[in-house]
Amino acid sequence: MAKIGRNEPCPCGSGKKYKHCCLQVESENKVVDITTKRAKQELEQLNEELEELALQYSDEIFSLYKDYVRENNWDIDSDYEAEYYVLFVGWAIFNAPIIEGETVFQTFLDEQGDSLRPETKERIAEWVTVPGMYEVIDHIDDDHFKVASLETGERDVFCDKEDELPEIGNGVLGIFVPFDNNVNHFLFTHDEFPLDWLQSVYEQYRSDLDPGRFSKTMKNEYPFVLYDLFNDEEDPRELIDTYDWVSKKHRAVIELLYEMNRPIWDDEDLNLAIEVWQEFCEDENPVVKKEAVFAGALEYLLNMMNEGEGTQKEIAEKYGVSPNSVSQRYREMDYLMYDFFDDIIDGFSPVAPHELAEQMFNELKQAVESQEFSSEEEMEQFISDLITFGSSTQPSNDKEHAEELLNKAFNSGEAEERVRLANEALALYPNSPGAYVILAEESFSLREQNDLYFEGMINGEAELGYAFFENNRGQFWGLTETRPYMRAKQGYAETCELIGDSKLAIDQYREMLELNPIDNQGIRYLLLETLIDNEKYGVAKELIDEYDEPTANMSYNRAYAEYMLNGWTKQAKKYLQEAINFNSHVPDYLLGKRKIPEASPGLIGLGEETEAIEYVQSYVELWQMERELMQKLEGLAAE
């Protein structure tokens, strides 16, 4: 270290000149405090030993990292993934209980036991194991720099002898510990960021109402903070400014949504909302009389696209408008949601059915897992070649061979060929629920179908295992390996209902919704129909309230269930009027004014005639049995 001049700032960070601070102490003592020096050396040694212990659990830490990426569908830029992972490791060592319920750090301390000197124990007790965000405000010398905490404003001096000092005015992120009386060291690693990046993420997670929220977030949700930091999203305010809004009212709508959700939405969601609203304005040039109605409808649309929380009623209350007005404007916008998903599907395969898409994904996954790569770039090139030229990977075991046979069976249009392939797959690997699904689909006996679906369900449960169910409950359909089991379970529930065991069918439907509340399979509609058929109107209303979605199925069944429970009440009238407002085509079919087609419609459009046809095909007989309700329906429809 270079010699410090008498009039230079003291490296301890006090703000005083060296001659008025530590130089006086050094002059008075004339000697180095041997105890402090020894404690510092011991801390440095412990730091190295902690790093060595962490290396022993590198597989567990990497597995935890992959779990976060997979469960949250993160797409981390390969240019930044190494930096992300290093910071993730530092956090995981101190905050992730990966060793029998304890962290690596706690395990390390337990192993040290009473071997630590009292002075060292005191200093370790001062270690801050939660990552922090700091602004670099000064360089003390070649090895030391001064920072100010974004959270508390407190100033500290950090030591960095290995790397170049971060630039003054930039931000740093990391975990630091005190090694001597005046200087803190970053532990394991830290990283430098533009200060405005850190400040933006800090503002997203801090709270005036809860001063401790930021620290709690950094301790418990640090991977999410890192993702936001490395996910270089454009600032939403700047994105709003980039568009030429046709009217001030159009801009006012998105600014209202931005202000209402800025504290709770991340930039990615805000930017999506801005882009969707801009596209709608460009397509429709809507006449905006009340900004809150359109903002509420837009927020509900984003919730539907992102599988977020919030019913129309809750969102309407948030913006101080009526649910009907939000519903009406939402129906004007909902085509954007279908365009959004169509783009995703087209980007993958414009013609592939669900089973083929799953097949392609699983083949790609197996091919990648069978290789060893020296870099991200090598893996990306391998995937690119697979997509371009196809896979030449051969099945390596009976399970993979069975899956290959089932893929051929799914793509075959010949019943005998499908049955043959399914039986061959079962002979190779009995725990293949997809094989039982194919056999059930080709059976002409309802009882045999029920038995086959049951076998598929039981074997699927055995294949996935108890731990898999407990760890992934609530997100099943998102894991492609669960889908053959879920199809078998759905088939079993439907055939149970057909053979007269409605109670068992209801139980199976409920279990499926617990496993996958997002309900990609539409199980809620099957459950609702079964509940109404069995006169369980109260339970049916609870299910409708749980999903509270703007569909003819839910809105008309809400009115029907209310009537069957309580007769023609004000509430029943209100529900029925809301249903008619949502889809005005249903009454004509229920009242017999229009003939109900025998064939089911293909693509269903919310609020459109196709949706009305789909609904009345299932429920017309129930409605026509209630004379008073039909009279009320005719009267309201004529208004």
Spatial contact of 97 and 221, defined as CB atoms under 8 Å apart: no
Query: Residue 562 — pLDDT band, cuts 50, 70, 90?
Result: very high
Mapping DSSP onto H, E and C, the string for 131-176 reads CEEEEEEEECCCCEEEEEECCCCCEEEEECCCCCCCCCCCEEEEEE
Window from 331-340, 612-621, 624-633 with minimum mean pLDDT: 331-340
147 and 210 fall within a common domain: yes
Within 8 A by CB and 6+ apart from 366, the residues are 393, 400
Query: Residue 617 — pLDDT band, cuts 50, 70, 90?
Result: very high
Range 557-569 average pLDDT: 94
Residue 607: inside a domain, yes or no? yes
Range 160-188 average pLDDT: 75
Give me the pLDDT at residue 312, please.
Answer: 80
Q: Does residue 364 have a pLDDT over 60?
A: no
Q: Residue 178 pairs with which residues in a beta bridge?
A: 184
Query: Residue 71 — pLDDT band, cuts 50, 70, 90?
Result: confident
Please give the model's pTM, rounded to 2 decimal places.
Answer: 0.46
Q: Does residue 356 have a pLDDT over 60?
A: no
371 and 247 fall within a common domain: no
220, two tokens: 């418990």
501 and 546 fall within a common domain: no
Residue 36: inside a domain, yes or no? no
Residue (of 347, 352, 396) closest to 371 by Cα position: 396
607 and 551 fall within a common domain: yes
Domain residues for 631? 523-638
Q: Does residue 174 have a pLDDT over 50?
A: yes
Residue 268: inside a domain, yes or no? yes
226 and 241 fall within a common domain: no
In this structure, the chain runs to a length of: 639
Mapping DSSP onto H, E and C, the string for 281-333 reads HHHHCCCCCCHHHHHHHHHHHHHHHHCCCCCHHHHHHHHCCCHHHHHHHHHHH
252 and 281 fall within a common domain: yes
SS3 for 44? helix
78 and 226 fall within a common domain: yes
87 and 183 fall within a common domain: yes
436 and 570 fall within a common domain: no
More confident residue, 354 or 124: 124
Q: Which letter does DSSP use for residue 476 in this model?
A: G
Q: Does residue 334 have a pLDDT over 60?
A: yes
225 and 290 fall within a common domain: no
Q: Does residue 387 have a pLDDT over 60?
A: no
Query: Residue 25 — pLDDT band, cuts 50, 70, 90?
Result: very low
Query: Residue 54 — pLDDT band, cuts 50, 70, 90?
Result: confident
Spatial contact of 482 and 472, defined as CB atoms under 8 Å apart: yes
97, two tokens: 């209980």
Give me the pLDDT at residue 553, please.
Answer: 92
Give me the pLDDT at residue 578, please.
Answer: 93
Range 361-374 average pLDDT: 57
Residue 9: inside a domain, yes or no? no
Query: Residue 354 — pLDDT band, cuts 50, 70, 90?
Result: very low
Range 481-495 average pLDDT: 92
Tokens 């050094």 correspond to what residue? 26
517 and 527 fall within a common domain: no
Q: Does residue 507 have a pLDDT over 90?
A: yes
Q: Which letter does DSSP use for residue 235 in this model?
A: P
Average pLDDT of the chain to the nearest whole number: 81
Query: Alpha-carbon distance 572 to 562, whole Å?
Result: 6
110 and 223 fall within a common domain: yes
